[in-house]
Structure 1
Amino acid sequence: MGEEPLTGAKARLAVLLEQDDIAAARRLIEAHAAAWPNLPEELLRLAHHAFAQGLAEEAVECLRVGVRHCPRDFNLWLYLAETLLATGRNSEAVSALRKALRLSGNRSPEDGRLAQALERAGLFPEAVLIRRRLVKRNPRSIQLWIDLARALIRAEGFKEAHTVLKQVLRLDPSNLQAQYYMGVLMRETARPEEAVKWFEACAQSSPRHVEIWYNLGNALAESGRMTEAEAAYEEALRRNFDYVPAHDSLARLRWQMGAKKRFLASYEARHRRPPPPPEAFYLSYAQKLTLTKRFDEGRTLLEEALRRYPASGYLAAARARLEDEAGAHDEAAEWHARAVAQLPHDVELALFQAWNLLVRGEAEKAQDLLLGLRKNAPNHQFLYALLALAWRELDDPRAATLLDYQRFVKRYTIPLPDGYQSLSAFLEELAVCLDRLHQTRRHPLDQTLRGGSQTLDFLFRRPDPVIQALRQTISRCVARYIAALPKDPDHPLCARKSGKFRFAGSWSVRLQNAGYHVSHIHPAGWISSAFYVRVPPTIRRNDPERQGWLEFGEPEPPLPRRVPAAHAECPEEGVLVLFPSYLWHGTRPFHSTQTRMTVAFDVIPIRSM
């Protein structure tokens, strides 16, 4: 193309930018891409301009043009990933970040941005690689060492994080960030008593930081010091009455300790006080009202919130969930449509819209929506739980392939851990340890158990020898389960088969007389579980009522439910049941003066970087 047409195109571009016609400007540049000088820089500039104007989608399109014509440009891939993250398109962002990471080389100017984007996308091991690179280039920077320790904690590199933080504290014993992250590390490794000491030291030297008081409250609660935890959360709110995590944790603590009448007191007090609260406050408060079936109060609150934040898709989604929980599914459908229209790339909102479609008997529409979501959420377990229901309602044979209880629900008697004479001796010692960890009086507000309690921290990270023995023997069973999975790249369970795995969460549940679990799934898992530590004698194989049994395949109403359950397992002490995280599962109530105690966990695969 000659110089004169390109000169005219540049003049036309200046006019389009002055008119904020980003789409036309993008098309103009792409039409002259082969001859346009400094094409990556021009498209980056245009994308920045679009984003600044609130046109995030147009910014993404500009950057896609860029990577299509300049596929080896690191900056285009990185800014594309950052823009996708800002619009909630995490799956696409991860793909762009992996491209940027491969192209990053030794780019010191942008490594900080790259590390931050990797952390936002949840790619913590990859972020650690970049943080190490930054430290290697500037080993005298204490801040870079602290940033590395923070990334290591998120990547579960706890031992190295401890070494790094100790090194920082040797150089600067009063460094507040290092003390704070040492407390975070102690919490993450289930050492709450040690975490309390670190956070108390931080609060003494810098009492104005709300996050310190909040995490002190968390560590105190995990240590069983509930009254002190409540006081720490209240102190956090005195520092910042709009700090929503403290409202949330304080309400949950009070609920679990039986203070039902005042568990929302901090929300009520903030709501009464000017100025108007932020959107996040309304969302958190409305969630608590919905969970406790205070629907009229929730509607009033959300109507007020939507007057203040009329463009909020998240508030519309909160109203949709409230109406669904209240049984007003047709009205909920309108709110789901509004939420998805405002946040078209939010997978979670679309999944709840599919839930609503299934409840209203529109299985085919639900199926179409769910199949369209698979590309951006290929591992989301809620998607497959709903898809299985849609296929079952449509008599689609793919439901049987996805569920296949005989193939994918397996039970194991755990191998006897080293150092124990018998399985019963091990289970007795384990039960005593777990009883000590059950600190609360009632079930968590948003969990599935009813009539019991749940431990508070990451159980398998606790240093107790009996818990570590359990973790090791359970790991052997999990490895057997994974090894037996068939190779099937089209199956959501089998496609993720990997030689390595990690525990994504672990906890214990203790149910009292008449206790049970409502049917649920584990949306962020891969393989889920139930290990039976203590089973009352009323739970037995020859019981026609299946008291205390684990049942599969049937969700809670109003989702389509069939009776009896498609598959059930009778609990036995020392037995571990493993199954796909997307399978609906719950338990039947039992009647006994003895408690039913389990350990549960989720497993996810570890992929090589």
Structure 2
Amino acid sequence: MQQNSPAKLFQSALTYYQQRQFAPAAALCNKILQIAPHSADAMHLMALCTAHSEPKQAEQYFERAIQAAQANTTFKKSYANFLLTSQRYTEALALYQPLQALNPADTDISYGIAFVHYQQQRYRAALSLIDKTSVPDTSAAKWLTLKARALIDCGKPDDAVRSLDQALKLTPDNSGLTLTKILALRQLQQPQQALDCFQQLPDSATTRYLAGCLYYDLQQYDVAEQQLLQALALQPDYIDAHAAINKLYWEHSNSTQFLSSFQRALIAIPNSTAVYLSYISHLLMAERLEAAIAVTNQAIQHCGKQHQLLHALGTLHCKQNQIDKAMPLFQQALAQAPNSVRYQLDNANCLLKAQQYHAALPLLQQARQIAPDNQEVWAYLGLCWRLMADPQHNWLNNYSQFISVKKLPTPAGYESFAAFWQELKTAVNALHTTDHQPLDQSVRNGTQTVGFLFNNPAGIVQIYRDLLTEHLQQYLAALPSDPDHPLLRRITSNQRFSGSWSVKLRNDGFHTNHVHPQGWLSICTYLHVPETISATDPQHQGWLKLGETSLQLGEREQIARSICPEEGLCVIFPSYIWHGTVPFNGDDARITLPCDVVPDI
């Protein structure tokens, strides 16, 4: 065999690739393609070598290799894996499914499909596939970790712990399984039991971060801060740790240290786009717009005109109603990432503000094609239809049919609703432990409970959850069917609570107008209503308002429906419907029990 023959070069390139020396492997693949430009094997290996460093180039090589050898399932599987790691889940699934039909025993393909189901929140489908797949011992831990994470996220953390305990008996030193068990125990609101697991883990940024979160749950805030600081010392670009420590500072009014973690990180890694983006996001949430603009311009100088930074700058100008500055930045970002739903929505928002409805509509329709279950997409699409006087607005929102306003009944075992409600008030009040509004939520002048309320072990909370579940089923049973409607087409026999919490608003407190992008149905129950909130108040202080957006459209805004709170009143509405509250005055607190519901598929 000749020294420089394509076959000999390919073997050398493959050896480099297996040794993770991707640059010399790619260089040899280039040589092969100069000699044999139609070599599918060389194209495929080139794609694998450049998958991380040049993803756009890698995608072209994958497609060329598949075109040159259409019967080669290995190439298609590699491309599907590439799409999976690129978080292009729908495209990955479209490749995996026909491959699975051809190779039903290939557990790598089955894992890819299960992982896509998990990432797209089809937890029931993921668990079903995991349970029926015969997994080799060499990859059992990976599958068990995915199963446990699916159980955690679908609201079954206790099942996850049982599954993980069985797995850890077989592989007690598996740190991935132990970390997942810590997440499950935290979801179960058992932080001390979760901390007991750390003795099995080596010290790392991840373990420090998780320990910080658990000490936060235990209200040991000084220890939580130290753990999070150590996580960031080990890994300055640990974005979740930045978010956690600044949440702690914000909620406990530590203005001196708030955002200091980002400043330290940028000294260590001045060209980190991820750190800059998180820093900018926190400044935006804290409504420090001028500082955020300065940091964004600094980021562009250090990191270049990346679409994430251009979009961030556009968002900040949009917040200042500088549409003429925001729109070209959004357009540049969209040109770099044309399938970004976020960018499509924000481009459309600028056009809506500028009364260019016919230009906004195609962007919203494209976003709908990419993310048909994203509630924010439907919220803006409905707004565009209303502003265009399109009757589809009424079809979508139908405020009289889709909004349920009813008082909850007295649960079994209680002599009166008042007795039940007082017990629930006492339990929930004890969970409000912070002294500042959440940084990343719609709450203003109020506090929000930490964690998933319905995982609280208190019996009264579980009685309320069961009562609400029955009430929800009655609401769903009364809805009509429509295979095209974003609410009605997703009705299934099973639903799950994807979020649950409590909000306590103080004097002059309110919720800004918002929607729930990842929801399907949203529910708000009024736990405590101050006497100053009244059905006869012409100013509607403390009332829920539906239909008015966050775009500040002036005379073009519209409150479609207003609801006066009452204790025990439960309001159900589609998550894409805009909603907020009117500020109220008074010394007493307004306490609610909101939650989100999604189909359990």
TM-score category of the 2 structures, normalised to the smaller one: 0.7 to 0.9
Match for residue 459 of structure 1 among 445, 453, 458: 453
**What residue is the counterpart of 2:400 in the other structure?**
406
For each residue in 1:230-251, what CA deviation from the matched residue of structure 2 results, as whole angstroms up to 9, or x when unmatched?
A: 2221121222222121111111
**What residue is the counterpart of 1:187 in the other structure?**
186
2:320 maps to amino acid: A
- Flag structure 1 segments of 5+ consecutive residues without an equivalent: 1-16, 30-38
1:530 maps to amino acid: C
**What residue is the counterpart of 1:440 in the other structure?**
434
Rounded Cα–Cα distance in structure 2 between residues aligned with 1:453 and 1:399? 34
For each residue in 1:177-235, what CA deviation from the matched residue of structure 2 results, as whole angstroms up to 9, or x when unmatched?
A: 44332211111223334333334x35xx522x111111111122223222222222112
**What residue is the counterpart of 1:232 in the other structure?**
227
**What residue is the counterpart of 2:60 in the other structure?**
58
SS of the residue corresponding to residue 511 of structure 1 reads strand
> 1:135: how far off?
6.2
1:184 maps to amino acid: L
1:246 maps to amino acid: A
1:195 maps to amino acid: A
Rounded Cα–Cα distance in structure 2 between residues aligned with 1:65 and 1:127? 31
- Flag structure 2 segments of 5+ consecutive residues without an equivalent: 1-28
Contact residue 84 and residue 112 of structure 2 kept, 8 A: no
Which stretch shows the higher mean deviation, 557-566 or 292-301?
A: 557-566
**What residue is the counterpart of 1:36 in the other structure?**
none
2:303 maps to amino acid: Y
> 1:92: how far off?
3.7
Cα distance change, pair 452–390 in 1 and its aligned pair in 2 (3 A): same
Rounded Cα–Cα distance in structure 1 between residues aligned with 2:337 and 2:599? 30
For each residue in 1:272-295, what CA deviation from the matched residue of structure 2 results, as whole angstroms up to 9, or x when unmatched?
A: x23424211010001112222333
Cα distance change, pair 316–456 in 1 and its aligned pair in 2 (3 A): same
Which stretch shows the higher mean deviation, 367-376 or 217-226?
A: 217-226
**What residue is the counterpart of 1:247 in the other structure?**
242
> 1:259: how far off?
1.4
Cα distance change, pair 161–222 in 1 and its aligned pair in 2 (3 A): same
Pairing 1:214–2:212 present:
no
For each residue in 1:76-118, what CA deviation from the matched residue of structure 2 results, as whole angstroms up to 9, or x when unmatched?
A: 6644544444555444444444555555512145555555555
- The 5 Å alignment of 1:44-123 reads 48=48, 51=51, 54-55=56-57, 58=60, 62=64, 75=74, 78-101=77-100, 103-108=102-107, 110-113=109-112, 115-116=114-115, 118-123=117-122
Pairing 1:313–2:312 present:
no
Cα distance change, pair 305–106 in 1 and its aligned pair in 2 (3 A): same
> 1:482: how far off?
1.5
Rounded Cα–Cα distance in structure 2 between residues aligned with 1:593 and 1:195? 39
Percent of counterpart pairs with the same letter? Answer: 31
Cα distance change, pair 401–115 in 1 and its aligned pair in 2 (3 A): closer
Which stretch shows the higher mean deviation, 399-408 or 551-560?
A: 551-560
> 1:431: how far off?
1.1
Question: Which portions of structure 1, spanning 4 or more consecutive aligned residues, are displaced by more than 6 angstroms?
Answer: 19-22
Match for residue 598 of structure 1 among 580, 585, 592: 592
Match for residue 218 of structure 2 among 214, 223, 226: 223
Rounded Cα–Cα distance in structure 2 between residues aligned with 1:183 and 1:110? 28
Number of matched pairs: 570
Rounded Cα–Cα distance in structure 2 between residues aligned with 1:585 and 1:98? 40
Rounded Cα–Cα distance in structure 2 between residues aligned with 1:573 and 1:96? 52
For each residue in 1:48-101, what CA deviation from the matched residue of structure 2 results, as whole angstroms up to 9, or x when unmatched?
A: 58857533553575588699x76xx86566445444445554444444445555
For each residue in 1:504-537, what CA deviation from the matched residue of structure 2 results, as whole angstroms up to 9, or x when unmatched?
A: 1111101111111111000000101110111111
**What residue is the counterpart of 1:535 in the other structure?**
529
For each residue in 1:344-392, what CA deviation from the matched residue of structure 2 results, as whole angstroms up to 9, or x when unmatched?
A: 1221221122122212222211112111222211111111111111111
Root mean square deviation, CA, Å: 3.2
Contact residue 533 and residue 542 of structure 2 kept, 8 A: yes
> 1:173: how far off?
5.2
Rounded Cα–Cα distance in structure 1 between residues aligned with 2:558 and 2:296? 39
Rounded Cα–Cα distance in structure 2 between residues aligned with 1:85 and 1:304? 33
SS of the residue corresponding to residue 261 of structure 1 reads coil
Rounded Cα–Cα distance in structure 2 between residues aligned with 1:111 and 1:458? 31
1:404 maps to amino acid: N
> 1:452: how far off?
0.5
- The 5 Å alignment of 1:556-567 reads 556-559=550-553, 562=556, 565-567=559-561
For each residue in 1:436-467, what CA deviation from the matched residue of structure 2 results, as whole angstroms up to 9, or x when unmatched?
A: 11111111112101110001101112221111
1:237 maps to amino acid: L
Rounded Cα–Cα distance in structure 2 between residues aligned with 1:580 and 1:521? 9
For each residue in 1:471-528, what CA deviation from the matched residue of structure 2 results, as whole angstroms up to 9, or x when unmatched?
A: 1110111111212221111211111121211111111101111111111000000101
Rounded Cα–Cα distance in structure 2 between residues aligned with 1:412 and 1:76? 57
Cα distance change, pair 412–104 in 1 and its aligned pair in 2 (3 A): farther
Cα distance change, pair 149–21 in 1 and its aligned pair in 2 (3 A): same
Question: What TM-score do the two structures reach when normalised by structure 1?
Answer: 0.85
1:230 maps to amino acid: E
Cα distance change, pair 315–403 in 1 and its aligned pair in 2 (3 A): same
SS of the residue corresponding to residue 586 of structure 2 reads coil
Contact residue 131 and residue 144 of structure 1 kept, 8 A: yes
- The 5 Å alignment of 1:113-512 reads 113=112, 115-116=114-115, 118-129=117-128, 131-132=130-131, 136-138=135-137, 145-146=144-145, 148-171=147-170, 175-199=174-198, 201-202=199-200, 206-207=202-203, 209-271=204-266, 273-310=267-304, 312-512=306-506
> 1:338: how far off?
1.2
> 1:331: how far off?
0.9
Contact residue 502 and residue 591 of structure 2 kept, 8 A: yes
For each residue in 1:404-434, what CA deviation from the matched residue of structure 2 results, as whole angstroms up to 9, or x when unmatched?
A: 1001111122232232221111111111111
Which stretch shows the higher mean deviation, 378-387 or 303-312?
A: 303-312
Cα distance change, pair 298–356 in 1 and its aligned pair in 2 (3 A): same
Cα distance change, pair 153–101 in 1 and its aligned pair in 2 (3 A): farther
2:164 maps to amino acid: L
Contact residue 77 and residue 99 of structure 1 kept, 8 A: no
Contact residue 158 and residue 188 of structure 2 kept, 8 A: no
> 1:555: how far off?
0.9
Which stretch shows the higher mean deviation, 49-58 or 331-340?
A: 49-58
For each residue in 1:145-198, what CA deviation from the matched residue of structure 2 results, as whole angstroms up to 9, or x when unmatched?
A: 455434543454434322222224445556544433221111122333433333
For each residue in 1:324-359, what CA deviation from the matched residue of structure 2 results, as whole angstroms up to 9, or x when unmatched?
A: 112222111111111111111221221122122212
Contact residue 81 and residue 93 of structure 1 kept, 8 A: yes
Which stretch shows the higher mean deviation, 79-88 or 595-604?
A: 79-88
Rounded Cα–Cα distance in structure 1 between residues aligned with 2:211 and 2:251? 18
Rounded Cα–Cα distance in structure 1 between residues aligned with 2:585 and 2:318? 32
**What residue is the counterpart of 1:12 in the other structure?**
none
Contact residue 418 and residue 469 of structure 1 kept, 8 A: no
Which stretch shows the higher mean deviation, 365-374 or 121-130?
A: 121-130
1:331 maps to amino acid: K
